[in-house]
Amino acid sequence: MKRSARFGQNFLINKKVAEKIVKIFFPVHGVILEIGAGNGILTDFLYKYRKGNKVIAVEFDRELFVKIEKRYGYDFEVINANILEINLNDNFSDKNINLISNVPYYISKDMIDWVIFNRSKIKRGIFMMQKEFVNKLIKKEDSAQSILFRFLFCSKKLFNVNPGSFYPQPKIVSSVFLFEKIIRKKREEVDIKGFYAFLKKCFMNRRKTLVNNLSVVLNGELLKSILIKNKINLNVRAEELKLENFLEIYNKVFID
């Protein structure tokens, strides 16, 4: 357990919570990818309830990897790697991958970016992350990441998990949430890389208006005309807009 501090991991030790997460997760169709198998508490219940699903467990910590491989290597594929360095398109032939993870708090933002850029292979997932981070990700549209995630995935917060369910105990509450990829019609698709870069520009400086933030990359008069046409205040800041507003501006400037 001492190695948890090294990798910023708070291990889930509450078996009732672990079983609840896995039972909500099932049934799934396709491959199950467990991210950060850790002490194997989720892995144990994945083994119990999998019903023929192929399970792949990824663990970065070498010592923990050895333990998981010894316990389940005969039945699961166990990989010793940093998930953030794995490209699903390059390394997995499976088209429907279902994710499950108690995500280390310090990689929360990077983990969501990883999900976004590997979205073509991901069908659904269930994650446990810091409560505050989850609330911002799936309930608010106040960052480039939260807006893009909501565009790509339908998500639902399930329940909170108190600090006493972990070792070592964190000082914060965790939340479990479920997400599933939104399948869009061809005409509704967007260049995600370009749209994400655009959103990041919009939120580049929160104190500045949207017009000021985008003035370095867009024609100011064009942007103002789009805002006026859509009855949006010219002094609006990015966090005051909704997903549909950003899509309208992006499509008018970069697509039309």
Q: What is the pLDDT of residues 67-111, one digit of tens each?
A: 999 999 999 999 999 999 999 999 898 889 999 999 999 999 999
**Which positions ≥6 away from 26 have C-beta within 8 Å?**
49, 50, 51
Give the domain extent around 146. 2-183
Instruction: Tell me the pTM.
Output: 0.93
Here the tokens at position 183 are 């399948």
**Residue 113 burial (C-beta neighbours within 10 Å; 0-12, 13-18, 19+):** middle
Same domain for 219 and 92: no
Pairing of strands 55-59, 77-80: parallel
Q: What is the pLDDT of residues 169-190, one digit of tens each?
A: 999 999 999 999 999 887 788 9
31 alpha-carbon distance from chain centroid: 18
Same domain for 179 and 193: no
**Domain ends where: 159, 183, 207?**
183
Number of domains in the chain: 2
Question: Mean pLDDT score of the chain, rounded to an integer?
Answer: 92
Same domain for 238 and 172: no
Same domain for 201 and 149: no
**What whole-number distance in Å separates Cα of residue 39 and Cα of residue 168?**
13
Here the tokens at position 222 are 């064009």
Same domain for 199 and 170: no
Candidate from 4-18, 22-36, 63-77, 79-93 with smallest mean pLDDT: 4-18
Whether 66 contacts 133, CB under 8 Å: no
Predicted pLDDT of residue 256: 58
Same domain for 133 and 51: yes
**Domain ends where: 183, 214, 246?**
183
Section 144-152 average pLDDT: 96
Predicted pLDDT of residue 47: 95
Predicted pLDDT of residue 2: 37
**Residue 211 burial (C-beta neighbours within 10 Å; 0-12, 13-18, 19+):** middle
CATH code of 194's domain:
1.10.8.100
Cis ω on the peptide bond leading into residue 168 (within 30° of 0)? yes
**Domain ends where: 183, 205, 227?**
183
Residue 215 pLDDT level (bands cut at 50, 70, 90)? confident
Predicted pLDDT of residue 207: 87
DSSP string of 62-78, one letter each residue = HHHHHHHHHHHTTTSEE
DSSP 216: T
Taking 90 as the threshold, does the pLDDT of residue 240 lie above it?
Answer: yes
Section 206-218 average pLDDT: 88
Beta strands per DSSP E along 135-241: 153-161, 166-167, 174-181
